[in-house]
A and B are shown apart, each in its own frame.
Chain A
Amino acid sequence: MIVRFFHQMGSPRYFYGVAGKLIPWFMVSFLITLVLGLYYGLFVAPADYQQGESYRIMYIHVPAAWMSMFIYVVMAVSGLISLVWRIKMTEVVVISSATVGASFTFLALATGSLWGKPMWGSWWVWDARLTSELLLLFLYLGIIALHSAIEDKRVAARAVSILALVGVVNIPIIHYSVEWWNTLHQPASITKFGKPSMDMSMLVPLLTMAISFKLYYGAVVLMRARAEIVERERNARWVQELVQEEAK
């Protein structure tokens, strides 16, 4: 049954329909978790013992930084599937994720910079964590540029997939940069193993925001994928029928 589901999802027409039904659910749950996360993060969670109120920017910064890496991994995996199995839908996922990934990376860099000025005393430093995250932004921008430079969508998808796979080495570098080298950026507060070095009252809103951002990505990638499908399949009969129906 699961195999059948994946086979069906590989068909652009089926994907288009399922995505259309899923988007409202993603959007509603995104808005609910966003309101909850922001309210608990900005008003309920206590101030930090050292940073005072300024630490609250992490409720945007940390989830955005997580998303910037998560989306890249999604792109690299979809890229691998596209290259090996030549599945149209994973090609669509690769390119549909690029802009939202770039936006999250920019958001992480910008909020980090705003926090860095009062806390560290500098908008920007060239330490390993900040530099590798900036490189990630350039990778996203490179992928977007490469995709729009090639006319043939399938050739473009192949080129972009290769670039995404080449860049994936940067992800472990970003993650471990704070452990491998001396950096100004602090090490991770939340690790898979071991107790988080953050108070529960601050951790719960942070994780809520992380879920919220994931749901947002889900909604946006489905919307963009639908648009991409219609563009790619504009000559297919089902798309033309769809357009005629809309026109009525």
Chain B
Amino acid sequence: MNPIRKKRLTLIGLMVAGIGVATWLALNAFDENLMFFFSPSEIAEGKAPTGHPFRVGGLVATDSVKRKSDGLTTSFTVTDNAESVTVEYTGILPDLFREGQGIVAMGQLNQSGVFVASEVLAKHDENYMPPEVAESLKTAHDEAVGANQNQVSVQ
């Protein structure tokens, strides 16, 4: 390689590396702002902002979805399997909203620690499968869990 080309290559290499480092530093500095939502554990640790609205994300806990008497307000618990937050929302929920499903809600905590949401978004996971496969997976899972529980009870 002739010296001019070598010099150009080094310069470009330095430029790309420099931009890479700068971007990395910037992204690190803004790390918190880049988080789309906070998990219930982070809220419990007090990491979530108190003065302005933020988003909370997690799974809708099983058997926690309750409709209020006005027919529009829904209350449910969002959990990350460690901590949980009660969410109240008035409005239409997205198609994918169901118990056990990941959701992201936008809103604020009120005095009694209930998260009053102004918007609820469903978070889809990366699994794609036909209904029959999902069904057989569920059956296999239930059987395995059942077998474990049997073992426990035997012991």
Contacts and interface: CB of A to CB of B under 8 A. Distances in A.
B141 interface: no
A220 interface: no
Interface string B108-142: 00000000000111111111111111110000000
A55 interface: yes
A122 B131 contact: no
Nearest to B104: A184
B122 to A, nearest CB: 6
A118 B121 CA distance: 10
B129 A198 contact: yes
Nearest to A49: B134
A51 B94 CA distance: 11
Given A80-B12, A121-B94, A199-B129, A169 B23 contact: yes
Interface string B4-43: 0100110010011001100100010001001111110000
A186 B124 contact: yes
A89 B97 CA distance: 52
Given A121-B94, A173-B27, A198 B36 contact: no
B72 interface: no
Contacts of B95: 51, 54, 118-119, 121
Given A169-B16, A182-B35, A197 B23 contact: no
Contacts of A168: 16
B96 A47 contact: no
Given A169-B20, A181-B35, A199-B130, A122 B9 contact: no
A189 B128 contact: yes
B36 A125 contact: yes
B94 to A, nearest CB: 3
Contact of A188 (B23, B31, B36, B126): B126
Contacts of B133: 49, 199
A229 B23 CA distance: 36
A128 B34 contact: yes
Contacts of B135: 49
Interface size class of B (residues with CB under 8 A): 35 or more
A186 B126 contact: yes
A2 interface: no
Contact of A181 (B8, B20, B36, B96): B36
A166 to B, nearest CB: 6
A219 B128 CA distance: 31
A119 B94 contact: yes
Quick one: which of B20, B35, B95, B125 has the most chain A CB within 10 A? B95
A127 B36 contact: yes
Given A46-B131, A47-B131, A198-B127, A183 B36 contact: yes
Contact of A165 (B15, B124, B127): B15
A121 B36 contact: no
Contact of B130 (A49, A127, A187): A49
Contacts of B125: 186-187
Nearest to B4: A84
Interface of A: 46-51, 54-55, 58, 80, 83-85, 118-122, 125-128, 162, 165-166, 168-169, 173, 180-184, 186-189, 197-199, 201-202
Interface of B: 5, 8-9, 12, 15-16, 19-20, 23, 27, 31, 34-39, 57, 93-97, 104, 119-135
26 contacts: A46-B130, A46-B131, A47-B131, A48-B129, A49-B130, A50-B134, A51-B95, A55-B128, A84-B5, A84-B8, A85-B5, A118-B95, A120-B94, A120-B96, A121-B119, A128-B36, A162-B15, A173-B23, A184-B121, A186-B123, A188-B126, A189-B128, A198-B127, A198-B129, A199-B129, A202-B129
